[in-house]
Amino acid sequence: MLGPEIAEVPHVPVTSSIAPCAEDAAAPADVPAPPAVPSSAGSTPAGAGSAAAGLAAAAFERRRLVARRVPFATIPRRAWERLLDVTACATPFSRWQFHRAWWDGYGEGAHEDYMVCLDAAVDASAALDADAIVAIAPLMHRHEVEPDDAVLRTAIRHAPTTAQRTLPDRAKAIFFAASYHADYATLLCDPADLPDAAAAVVAALAAGPDLAHGSDDWDVVDLRRLRADDPALPALEAAFCVAAAHHGWEVTRELEDVCPVLEVDHWDWETYLQTLTTKDRHELRRKMRRAEAAGPVEFEEVPDPADAVDEFVAMHQARWGDDGLFPDTEGGARSRRFFRRLAELEGPDGMLRIGRLRVGGRPVFMCVGFHDQGAVYYYNAGSDPEARALSPGVIGVAWYLRHGLAEGTRVFDFLRGNEGYKYTWGAVDRPIHRLIVTPRAA
């Protein structure tokens, strides 16, 4: 989240840890080998754990599911919604609306590589049946750095990542779809089906390239934004590591970043304030009083987010300029298309909310968030630079929190980045991880 101008507090940067494969993840001999990948033995993952490795090996042996590559548009939305409902760590970033809007806005810079997992007995040539889909792996591929990335660059987060592993610029990489602008990613799947789904996805990736997008196989699988508590993380890691021993892959898992999260316990605003340090509580109340002295302070959620997208873009651009998400470039134009499409798809009753803070009738702060069953994901914000004396970022977040508490919100997720202002509000780090799979020769 792009942080408002609340005073920084000391925070020790998170150190990234890299876990290689452990020796208990042996591969069945008949796991299909990908062409052009040497078959020397790979390392096995310490992070996968013997239990996950055993489940993965058993999944490869029984081959219950197979993964079929399909265009995003052909995946029945009914199946997507059904699987989203049973996914352990589903977030608004896994919703159909977010993916549809992302491809409409940014699709020129990536290639779809979605997979659906079906029972192995299903005829591969049969039409896709929504009820038969057991899991969805939302994937895409592109190069780690495309030639025009510098021109199209926009910034959705300003804090540096804690990730340590760097990969060749021109490496053809498999990513989670939409993950450049999503803070969390996962497989859409019932937890009970995760070992089989992960094995099916890994087997499909091992079987060679999607010929619809050329004959070059991937150079790296770079799966980011996996929450540490997501059961999809150990399932995928174990499946890759079981296959690694046969394919000569190197599998590593590293701490990619942190998402500071504030959890509250049925608190009202005044109760919440008592959880802050005396200094922070005093400073916050002083700034809120100063704003109130300038005129009535009013926070509202816009009834239909589509009606306020352009206003939000202007406010964000006023605060961040070329360092933000909407610079006057083709990259900024794509970001505007994405936001407009997302607001249109979500509509008045969706999870996307746009908040506006007025002081004396003048808008000084706007924010975009996702609201999901008692959790708020604070996605982005902007403020009026001419209202700097009123500390619009600080009072804007304060009123957003206050509004959420009144609605019964219990979790405020500030999303990726360890900017100091997030800890001022009492947030605690939630780690997110990155799985990296490369041929041993790389």
Per-residue pLDDT tens digits for 202-252 = 999 999 877 676 678 899 999 999 999 999 999 999 999 999 988 999 999
**CA pair distance 27, 423, nearest whole angstrom:** 44
Strand bridging mode 428-439 / 352-359 = unpaired
Q: Are 429 and 414 in contact (CB under 8 A)?
A: no
**DSSP characters over 367-436:** EEEEEETTEEEEEEEEE-GGGGGG-HHHHHHHHHHHHHHHHT--EEE--S---HHHHHTT-EEEEEEEEE
Q: Are 180 and 145 in contact (CB under 8 A)?
A: no
| Residue-averaged pLDDT of the chain | 87
**Is the pLDDT assigned to residue 38 strictly greater than 60?**
no
In this prediction, residue 223 carries a pLDDT of 97
What percentage of the chain's residues is helix, strand, coil (to nearest 5)?
40, 25, 40
Residue keyed to tokens 């001999």: 29
**Least confident stretch, 263-267, 279-283, 326-330:** 263-267
The vertex-208 CA angle with 42 and 123, nearest 5°, equals 120
Q: Are 438 and 247 in contact (CB under 8 A)?
A: no
Give the helix/strand (H/E) hosting 19: strand 18-20
Of all residues in the chain, the percent with pLDDT exceeding 90 is 74
Strand bridging mode 172-176 / 139-143 = antiparallel
In this prediction, residue 139 carries a pLDDT of 98
**CA pair distance 241, 20, nearest whole angstrom:** 9
Q: Which of 87-96, 241-250, 260-269 has the highest mean pLDDT?
A: 87-96
**Is the pLDDT assigned to residue 20 strictly greater than 70?**
no
Domains of the chain plus CATH, in order, are 18-260+432-439 (no CATH), 265-409 (3.40.630.30)
Q: Are 227 and 432 in contact (CB under 8 A)?
A: yes
Q: Are 354 and 367 in contact (CB under 8 A)?
A: yes
Burial of residue 109 (number of CB atoms within 10 Å: 0-12, 13-18, 19+): middle
**CA pair distance 167, 438, nearest whole angstrom:** 10
Q: Are 441 and 171 in contact (CB under 8 A)?
A: no
